[in-house]
Structure 1
């Protein structure tokens, strides 16, 4: 079957890889280069066992600080945008224990499938992507926050995750670069099995292998319209002309929402703007972590990718504003100094980046067919901050859905 995948980020490329592996002829279409969007500067963590949805009951108590504090990791800039307000209201409605617990169970199952898919791809492709499997520490500053983490860990343990609470002293033993910061925390959740990799390098390696196996790439082509005829999608109109196929996969991240409307679908996907910086740590390699670290209070993640340290975080609901705010980059520098005071590279070029993470209110991605949509159109979008983690899981869902129809 001829299948067009709309989107060359990690989600689209994972779908293209899985579809090609199952014998389909694949074409990948994107307005930019492979991995050029949210995949190029993301947090680099593969969080297969710690996937708590952003929509959580604790958000209610944090709202005043999150919305109004100058250094808040969450920022909402109200706009005359019905999608923004609808998304925010749906998000707040999802901030309850029942929805959060159900979302955790769904995400963990999807993450387990994604781990299997990613490992199968690694064995096949052997990508040069700075992969590491050194585990992850999620740091908590206060006893109350640590107690909440303990409850979440108990929930995840019942769903198959292997984690444990560790003391500040144990944190420093697991990751020596945390020696000084350990005095600031109450404890951490340690997951030995977590991984990290350079997502952009994975994207480039997937493109290389897909091309070598006869996939077609149409890059620099923006999708402007989806042409439906007789209940079927017959072509994706692009700035380089129409692209026809037997089936289509919509994996265009935040651009999925307006295209979904063209085929009568409301996709609750809104851009969550995030930031990152990337440090060269070769001058003082032992002062930067090798274990992945998440600072829960600051909502900042640290991941070692080769001889670089990726620092990422912040959630802004500001529409399509793609400007890099210097204050946000400064806050990531400050967070790095606070947790890893001897880390090298902070005073030089930190390669500032911002990107739009396509998120649903519940944190659950949209994968497969949707009622009322063209029968030959599959969706693969809305992964939020877990795009790298979940990409190969939703790729398998999409491929299975296409196979079931065939």
Structure 2
């Protein structure tokens, strides 16, 4: 939706093909809702090595790797581990910060222009750390991001974190401290996509719902047709923005990209009856790999990273785990079983850096927009602007 909007703003006639009946039915509809412009530490981090035994062996780990008989998973996993070093992590952080800055500016410009109703707010964010060692590692990441020109962030004690967000009062004893970023935002990604779809359609874009792409026809160095369940379509340019499945579609036209799904889960709770029991400030608990984001009268609880292949089922045990995490972090919040369970597949590259633009050796009119991982919502507007700029130079 963001890329389609940016292309339309640049003067292109846009057609969006979507196999679902409405927007945001993939990785965006129930995501963590945080716009993490300032704290962008990639998943591929040197600290991952100490967690490998738990990753491979503990079924309850929030970061879980289940080996498949899939060469693509093995190749992606080896590239991911190869990126888990200080040099690569620092380079990825710098690149992500730059893209996040561009994305913030593009999103703020869109909001000023369109005034979209999508529960956008800037409550700030607290990233919680369970031990002094993990807090010390976070301090090094904050220092790195400060040197790279990131937004103001500072370390706070557990007591200070509870003062910033009173809903954490009961949990403060379980953390060593936190990183506080006052400038961080939240937005309802589903509402955002729905609003963008309305804008696109009002201004002449063709939005084809319930339309599945079956294949891309390649002749020499061009895509000559997009074959869909509604028949073939021709276009001057084709943007492949199909999330975790983009790797399969690209491979059919001779393009290989290192994108693999990282499965996540969420629940959405009604906080209207207990507005003070749910946090206003966004919260990320690094121990549990869970985020809490307030969207009006709702609380989005999202998390977990499962590298388990094409398993799109909502597993009740993982939903119970999110409920248990909510009970542990916010014991005063009574939610019972009234939760909205969801799962989504984040399209990720081994380094955490998204892929935007042409692929080497690929068709000249095929453009990639994929691999944004857990930062898809955050990076989408900046990535859209970059693709428009690259296409204008083609």
TM over 0.5: yes
Instruction: Say which of 224, 227, 244 aligns to 1:237.
Output: 227
Gaps of 5+ in 2: none
The one of 276, 280, 297 equivalent to 1:290 is: 280
User: Quick check: 1:207 aligned with 2:208?
Assistant: no
Find the counterpart in structure 2 of residue 3 from structure 1. Answer: none
1:70 Cα offset (Å): 3.4
DSSP-derived class of the 1:225 partner = strand
Residue 348 (structure 1) shift: 2.7
Aligned equivalents of 2:322 and 2:28: distance in 1? 19
How far, CA to CA, are the matches of 2:60 and 2:71 in structure 1? 27
**Is 1:17 the counterpart of 2:5 in the alignment?**
yes
Q: Which of residues 55, 66, 72 in structure 1 aligns to 2:61?
A: 72
Counterpart of 1:27?
15
TM-superposed CA distance for 1:377, in Å, is 1.1
Alpha carbons 1:45, 1:197 under 8 Å: kept: yes
Q: What is the match of residue 8 of structure 1?
A: none
- Alignment partners' CA distance in 2, 1:151 and 1:128: 37
CA-CA distance at 1:65 after TM superposition: 2.1
- The corresponding residue for 1:276 is 266
Q: Which residue is 2:165 aligned to? A: 175
Q: Which runs of 4+ in 1 moved over 4 A?
A: none
Q: Note the 1:310-329 alignment, pairs <5 A.
A: 310-329=300-319
Match of 2:101 in 1: 112
Cα distance, 1:78 vs. partner?
A: 1.3
1:85 counterpart = 2:74: yes
Q: CA deviation at 1:67?
A: 2.5
TM (norm. structure 1) is 0.95
CA distance in 1, matches of 2:244, 2:60: 26
Q: Partner residue of 1:403?
A: 392
Per-residue CA deviation, residues 85-123 of structure 1 (Å, 9 max, x unaligned), is 111111111100000000000000000001111111111
Of residues 384-393 and 226-235 in structure 1, the stretch that sits farther from structure 2 once superposed is 226-235
**Preserved contact between residue 283 and residue 344 of structure 1 (Cα < 8 Å):** no
Alpha-carbon distance in structure 2 between the residues aligned to 1:387 and 1:253: 10
Partner residue, 1:374: 363
Residues 41-73 of structure 1 show CA distances to partners (whole Å, capped at 9, x for unaligned) of 100000000000000000001111232223201
Whole-Å Cα distance in 1 between the matches of residues 349 and 59 of structure 2?
26
Q: 106, 112, 133: which one pairs with 1:144?
A: 133
Any conservation in 1 of the 2:135–2:177 contact (CA below 8 Å)? yes
- Cα drift, residue 292 of structure 1: 0.3
SS of 1:350's equivalent in the other structure is coil
Partners of 1:246 and 1:123 lie apart in 2 by 31
Deviations 1:354-378 (A, max 9, x none): 1111101111000011221111111
- Give the TM-score taking structure 2 as reference length: 0.98
Which residue in 2 is equivalent to 1:351? Answer: 340
Shift of 1:321: 1.0
- SS at structure 2 position matched to 1:165: strand
Q: Paired residue for 1:216, among 206, 222, 226?
A: 206
Q: CA RMSD in A?
A: 0.9
The offset of 1:230, in angstroms, is 3.3
Output the CA distance in 1 between the equivalents of 2:60 and 2:178.
23
Q: Deviations over 1:185-207 (max 9, x none)?
A: 11000000000010000000000
Return 64-73 or 380-389, whichever deviates more.
64-73
Contact 2:56 2:66 in 1 (8 A): no
State whether structure 2 residue 186 is matched by structure 1 residue 196.
yes
Partner residue in 2 for 1:332: 322
CA distance in 2, matches of 1:204, 1:383: 20
Gaps of 5+ in 1: 1-12
How far apart, in 1, do the equivalents of 2:72 and 2:296 lie? 39
CA contact (8 A) 2:161 2:172 kept: yes
- Distance in 1, matches of 2:11 and 2:162, equals 48
Q: Distance in 2 between matches of 1:53 and 1:340?
A: 27
- Following the alignment from structure 1 to structure 2, what is the Cα–Cα distance between the partners of residues 341 and 59? 30
